[in-house]
Amino acid sequence: MASPTTPPPAGTLEAWAFEVIQSPTLEGKLTPGAPPRALEVQPPPRADLEPSRPSPLEVVARAPKTPRAGALVRAEARAKLLHIFFHHELQAAELFAWALLAFPDAPEAFRRGLAAICEEELRHARMYAEGVGALGSEVGAFPVRDWFWERFTACTSPLAFVALMGLGFEGGNLDHGTLWAERLRSAGDESSARLVDAVARDEVRHVAFAVRWFREWTGGLDFDTWRAALPAPLTPTVMRGAELDLELRRLAGLDDTFLEELAAWDRAAPGS
């Protein structure tokens, strides 16, 4: 059997996902072409993959500080913010590709859904890269941290993946997108605000995808079942904004009982 790090056969969906994660160029990573329909025959799990970080990206161990709302009157601060969002979207795309490779025994419909979302996350990354350029900067002008990748080492099942990525981080992005769009508007940058809004609206579908498969595998979706499915030591604390965007979360299929419990989650609780 092939080793876990052996590249998949060319022309397969798995090879496409591998390219998203391992491409030696940023262009190849962001524009891998359309996902092929062909699947690798009996693919081995490839959960040990790590992402390439080609030039001009500079990875640092400590995350760059997110600009404060008041700083967004400066174009450079807005460019830094969109650059952070660019890297979030790039990591999300890579992690959807990673899940496709890590869980080859998952249902085919689930794995093809991962590829479709990966494509959309790559489009978001390109949109943010254009936004950075429109503000007079460029991708690579600010260092990045692989914060999301660092939190997936304990993700060992498709259920844990949808709990962590779809219901967790992408659910939180629905809240954060609304907040940052408002802040950009307050700073007078309607174009960047519309960009953030558009990405958040798209990601409603990503959360809905997670809701569908979580229910498929557990028979339902309630707050405690979701929390139990999160890889330890992660909790809902880092997966929600200060204020929930109830409209977008409801559009994604989350019911009011779940949202009430998420809103009431004690952020100061031990281990949270």
Task: Specify whether the CB–CB gap between 236 and 171 falls below 8 A.
Answer: no
Assess if residue 247 is contained within a domain. Answer: yes
Query: What mean pLDDT is predicted for residues 56-72?
Result: 93
Tens of pLDDT, residue by residue over 13-28, are 999 999 999 999 999 9
Structural domains counted in the chain? 1
Of the pLDDT bands very low, low, confident and very high (cuts 50, 70, 90), residue 33 is very high
Residue 2: inside a domain, yes or no?
A: no
Residues 6+ positions from 13 with CB-CB distance below 8 Å? 35, 36, 37, 38, 39, 40, 100, 111, 112, 115
In a domain, 192, yes or no: yes
In a domain, 80, yes or no: yes
Residues 82-126: tens digit of each pLDDT: 999 999 999 999 999 999 999 999 999 999 999 999 999 999 999
Residue with tokens 């904004």: 241
Query: What average pLDDT does this structure show over 181-202?
Result: 98
pLDDT at site 266 = 65
pLDDT at residue 227 tops 80: yes
pLDDT of residue 224: 96
C-alpha span between 174 and 171 (Å, rounded): 5
pLDDT at 195: 98
Question: For residue 203, which of 108, 107, 89 has the smallest C-alpha distance?
Answer: 89
Per-residue DSSP letters for 99-112? HHHH-TTS-HHHHH
- Residue 1's pLDDT is 35
> Is 38 a member of any domain?
no
How high is the pLDDT of residue 270? Answer: 39
Write phi, then psi, for 166 (nearest 5 degrees): -75, -55
Q: Domain limits at 160?
A: 73-264
Cβ(130)–Cβ(186) below 8 Å:
no
Mean per-residue pLDDT, 192-214: 97
Residue 252 located in a structural domain: yes
Residue 242, domain CATH: 1.20.1260.10
Residue 182 within any structural domain of the chain: yes
* pLDDT of the residue at 3: 43
- Would you say residue 156 lies in a domain? yes
Q: What is the pTM of this model?
A: 0.95
Cα-based distances in Å from 79 to 38, 62, 73, 86: 39, 19, 11, 10
pLDDT value, residue 5: 72
Predicted local distance difference test score (pLDDT) of residue 267 = 52
